[in-house]
Amino acid sequence: MDMEKIERAVRDILEAVGEDPDREGLQETPARVARMYGEIFSGLGADPKQHLKIFTEGGKHDELVLVKDIPLYSVCEHHLLPFIGRAHIAYIPKNGRIIGLSKFARIVDCFARRPQVQERLTGQIADFLYENMEPLGVAVFIGVVGNGMTKAGAMEQLSDAETIIVQIANLISCYGVPAALLAGVILAGILAATMSTADSQLLAASSSVSQNLAVEFFHLKISGKKSVLVARSTMVVISLIAAFLARDPDSSVFRVVSFAWAGFGAAFGPVVLFALFWKRSNKWGALAGMVTGGVMVFVWKYLVAPMGGALAIYELLPAFLCACVAIVMVSLLTPAPEQSILEAFECFKSKQKQK
């Protein structure tokens, strides 16, 4: 790498923007920038094969190997601005050919330390591993945060990353009718994806209430017409809850989703586990566990967690534990499951042991 040429180029840039490269604060800047470029572009002259040491184990290794959260730092070749992120690599060894886990980070770093784009970087890592390790399969996933548009002044730094696509579409729409049509297509795609997910969840929830809960769990004898009415009423209730949650325009969908998953996990997770591994669990214990888990998610998030300290934890864990306690206590205090259910449990358990 020609460090002197980089220094001269930096001096030219400083002069071009109207600065004096000889003033006190900038005298050593060209040399510092040259050293920085020497570091962040060190992958240009490096051979990633130097980090590839393959071990051939005698045993059979044919299961998926996954290395997650490999730190990644690179420079966008379009604006020479940094982008950072994480890389995740998975591969299935062939003939016992494996490499040390630390080598993956060095290989990623070698390809990243050069002017890059995310798509090419992903392909280069995958191709290199496939060609040199000869695995049965390899997959590379990279997630990065770039600064090309915000740092270049095209748009302001976003306080909420969830709005990035909407903001880009809004920016595109400012450049004439064709661009506005393209922005409309982007927004239509977002709306279509949202509506597709929403209607699928609404249909699943309404059918679960009208069929699984009303008919199969509570054994209610209702006609087809009433079943449809129950399903529609469920959709209305869920829609009202969704409207309530969305009343704050500054709220984050990530927070809403994490809260929703806490509710699902605490209400249904313990029920599934106890049903699978404890034959004394009965329907009343399951019902108590679901109610306790769902209620405790709200209690912990809004009443307990605000106290701070050790209590300020994700509401899923305490709600999950409370649901487990409720299942055990109520199941023991109520009649045991029918003998046919116990026999089916033992039969399945014995079959699993035979496998």
Digit-by-digit pLDDT tens for the chain (355 residues) are: 899 999 999 999 999 999 999 999 999 999 999 999 999 999 998 999 998 888 887 556 678 888 988 998 999 898 888 888 889 999 988 888 888 888 999 999 999 999 999 889 999 999 999 999 888 889 998 877 666 555 555 556 555 555 667 777 777 888 888 888 888 888 888 778 777 777 787 888 888 888 888 888 888 888 888 888 888 898 888 888 877 777 776 666 666 677 788 888 899 999 999 988 898 999 999 999 999 999 999 999 999 988 888 888 888 999 999 999 999 999 999 998 888 888 888 888 787 777 6
Q: Are 66 and 88 in contact (CB under 8 A)?
A: yes
Provide CB contacts within 8 A for 215, sequence distance 6+: 221, 222, 227
Q: How many CA atoms lie within 13 A of 46 on its CB side?
A: 20
* pLDDT score of 255: 67
**DSSP result, 243-303:** HHHTT-TT--HHHHHHHHHHHHHHHHHHHHHHHHH-TT--HHHHHHHHHHHHHHHHHIIII
| CA–CA distance, 3 with 5 (Å, rounded to integer) | 5
* pLDDT score of 334: 94
End-to-end Cα spacing for the chain: 61
* One-letter amino acid of 228: V
Distances (CA, A) of 103 to 92, 99, 107, 145, 193: 16, 7, 6, 24, 39
Distance of CA 89 to the CA centre of its chain: 15
| CA–CA distance, 355 with 345 (Å, rounded to integer) | 16
Q: Are 164 and 156 in contact (CB under 8 A)?
A: no
* pLDDT score of 289: 95
| CA–CA distance, 273 with 286 (Å, rounded to integer) | 10
Q: In the numeric block, which tokens belong to residue 2? A: 């020609």
Q: How many CA atoms lie within 13 A of 304 on its CB side?
A: 17
